[in-house]
Amino acid sequence: MERLSNIRNIGISAHIDSGKTTLTERILFYAGRIHRMHEIKGKDGGATMDYMELEKERGITITSAATTVEWNEKQVNIIDTPGHVDFTVEVERSLRVLDGAVLVLCAVGGVQSQSITVDRQMRRYRVPRIAFINKMDRTGADPARVVAELESKLGHVAVPMQIPMGSGVDFTGLIDLIKMEAVYFDGPSGEDIRYEPIPDAYAEEADRARHGMLDTLNLYDDDLMGVMLEGHDPTDEQIQTAVRRATLRRDITPVFLGSAYRNKGVQLLLDAVVSFLPSPIDRIAYACDNANDGAEITISADPDGPLVAMAFKIVDEPFGQVTYARVYQGKLQKGKQYKIARTGGSQRIGRVYRLHANKREDLDFAAAGDIVGVMGIDCVSGDTLCDPDINYSLESMHVPEPVMSISIVPERMADREPMSKALNRFCKEDPTFHTHFEEEAGETIISGMGELHLEVYVERMRREYKCNVIVGQPRVQYKEAPTQVTPYNYKHKKQTGGSGQYAHVVGTLIPMELNGETDYEFENKVTGGRVPSEYIPSVDKGFQMARVKGPIAGYEVVGIKMVLEDGSSHAVDSSDLAFQLCARAAFREAVRDSKPCLLEPIMKVEVEVPTEFQGGAAGDIASRRGLITGTEIKGNAVTILAEVPLANMFGYSTDLRSLTQGRGNFAMEFACFRRTPAAIQEEIIAKALKEREKTSSKK
Ligand code: GDP
């Protein structure tokens, strides 16, 4: 257990441009993993590409799936959490395997849209976090405002653990409110830490801030409160313990300050990671026992138990597939065979290694708590690996549905094969990336979480697979949903020569609230064997097959519960197939009668423009059927928050650029599906029908 208590699996999350890459590089430097620091230039949106180029140029893996460093004799595994909103599933996947996180915020920008998204996801996975307010050297740095935003926008109880000495160009160092010392970062790269008594000019402010910190901690820690009620000044250790306990319970978010770029504060942040974020034993993991009806069980971090591990990221490298895995229980041993819970198949582990910034360290095994790279196995991201004699699945990850698609056609014959290879690979890596071939049009359709998400894959095809494709117009993935409770009663009867087909189903279609998690439910209420039990799954299957194409415009039907109440069967003519066909027809009829409506994906959009463009930008949002939900003014920039239908967001980056002379920025993420206004619905249906006509006349 001591080994485990020395491990920290952490993620670093940030809004783009807050300094995550710079901070990560500084961490690798101070932990002795790289020996030179480089300047990181600004990026222009296509973050993932830039990271890849960046890494290639420097031969280090800043943003690889996992990087290990040692700090204060603890092993810190840094798991990459991409910040871009189009890659939410990557974030989800890494959040699933980390135990704690550092939320990087810009001292000027504060809590921005991506931080809000990632924080919401972290809450779902119950990840304790600490905050790092970066860029304290920038003019306009205002840590107090950022702390207030942590409270107002994210609902955290944010507890500053430091105060700055100066800010902007005068930012010289920090005051540690536990030790009550001033800390300076000397030397060419801030590597020489100097502790000094607090300068007189800051004495009063530091006292006040320490009292504020203790007052808040008191609310969450009875032991500390006890000490203080007795009139004692708590020791450093007592405070540290209280902070750790409250952080692990997610009662508070301790806040640290610094400037990664100016080499200030990073080492103290690392100290905090080690002191306050959880080790694998502090967190409980659950799994479903597939051999026992999916019953939930607790996974112990026991290295001697049977293996349970999760493959959370798949990367294609020139010499084969690398699978990044987190071991939750037992040991993952080189050369041994393990089961992939999803398929039941068995896979042999070729190589296990730990990833450092610039080298791979081969291991004979990885034990509970570890995060390692594995070679030689064929699996997809999200798979559970387990001992051959158990059949556990770690709780499934939340995978959002794709919201848009485009068609792609290989440019030349020679592009066909690499295209299919690339698509295969992308599907394995990314569960939000889907692809299918549309026979009618003779095109391949790729779907995902947004324009950029798909663009990145098209670009990767070109770069990594040397394959050029012609890209079609982006299309929104609409959905169809019933709006009223509708009974159904359908008899499927066919007499063709010898044996016939007979099936009969009776029940009710019930519209379901859309919660983004379950789109379809089936409930069996048949009594007395009126529909023989062996055909119940056939009915469910038939419904699900019919659900793929709805009656309005051929989109997937969601928000639907099908209750089967009654029916009848025939001793000879009933079969699995007959019940499937019957259910399909019943479903279609019932949905058609349920006054179905069209749902469209709505995006949460955050636009930042200089104040002089506020009117223009807001008017533009409104003309896109957008709903402005908030406006915030920070200095001479204004942030407009809005909800806009995805259908009207295509090409927005170009439009915003020309509207603001290139000075506007925006971020967006999927928010929900919402009912389309009637007039728009008519338009979409007409367009869908026209496209269908076009493809059938092309044939
Ligand atoms: P990321 O998008 O969050 O990975 O951000 P980067 O690390 O790429 O940083 C974005 C920009 O901010 C770069 O131009 C950095 O040089 C700059 N930057 C990063 N940290 C700081 C800091 O502490 N102070 C200042 N002034 N700039 C910083």
Ligand 1 closest atom vs CA 138: 26
Angle at 551 between CA 548 and CA 555, to 5 degrees: 45
Distance 152 CA to ligand 1 centre (A): 25
Distance 43 CA to ligand 1 centre (A): 10
pLDDT value at residue 99: 92
Confidence of residue 41 (pLDDT cuts 50, 70, 90): very low
Q: Is the pLDDT of residue 241 over 80?
A: yes
Distance 109 CA to ligand 1 centre (A): 12
Q: Return the percentage of the chain with pLDDT > 70, whole number.
A: 90
Distance 17 CA to ligand 1 centre (A): 6
Retrieve residue 491's tokens: 């008899």
Structure confidence by residue, pLDDT tens digits, 93-142? 778 888 999 999 999 999 887 787 778 778 878 899 999 999 999 999 99
Distance of CA 166 to the CA centre of its chain: 36
Q: Is the pLDDT of residue 89 over 80?
A: no
**pTM for this entry:** 0.69
pLDDT value at residue 378: 87
Distance 47 CA to ligand 1 centre (A): 13
Distance CA 40, CA 51 (A): 10
Residues with CB under 6 A from ligand 1: 14, 16-22, 40, 42-43, 134-135, 137-138, 259-262
pLDDT value at residue 182: 98
| Mutation to probe ligand 1, out of 24, 38, 40, 48 (largest number of atoms < 8 A from CB) | 40
Is the separation of the CB atoms in 564 and 526 below 8 Å? yes
Ligand 1 closest atom vs CA 16: 2
Angle, to 10 degrees, between the axis of helix 652-659 and the axis of helix 614-623?
150
* Region 239-263 average pLDDT: 96
Distance 540 CA to ligand 1 centre (A): 53
Q: Is the pLDDT of residue 58 over 50?
A: no
Where do runs of H (alpha helix) occur along 548-575? none
Distance 258 CA to ligand 1 centre (A): 12
Q: Are strands 351-355 and 360-363 parallel, antiparallel or unpaired?
A: antiparallel
pLDDT value at residue 62: 42
Distance 79 CA to ligand 1 centre (A): 19
Give the residue, by CA position, lying nearest to ligand 1 atom 2: 17
pLDDT value at residue 1: 62
Ligand 1 closest atom vs CA 14: 3
Find all residues with CB under 8 Å of 61, minimum gap 6, and list them: 55, 67, 355, 357, 358
pLDDT value at residue 48: 32
The closest of 309, 314, 319 to 428, measured between CA atoms, is: 314
Distance 106 CA to ligand 1 centre (A): 9
27 residue type, one letter:
I
pLDDT value at residue 105: 95
Give the residue, by CA position, lying nearest to ligand 1 atom 19: 19
β-strand partners of 165: 173
| Mutation to probe ligand 1, out of 12, 22, 81, 262 (largest number of atoms < 8 A from CB) | 22
Could you tell me the end-to-end alpha-carbon distance of the chain, in angstroms, rounded to an integer?
Answer: 66
Q: Is the pLDDT of residue 616 over 90?
A: yes
Distance CA 316, CA 311 (A): 14
Confidence of residue 502 (pLDDT cuts 50, 70, 90): very high
| Mutation to probe ligand 1, out of 17, 264, 269 (largest number of atoms < 8 A from CB) | 17
Give the residue, by CA position, lying nearest to ligand 1 atom 17: 19
Distance 477 CA to ligand 1 centre (A): 36
* Region 296-305 average pLDDT: 88
Give the range among 106-120, 268-282, 606-620 with minimum mean pLDDT: 106-120
Ligand 1 closest atom vs CA 258: 23
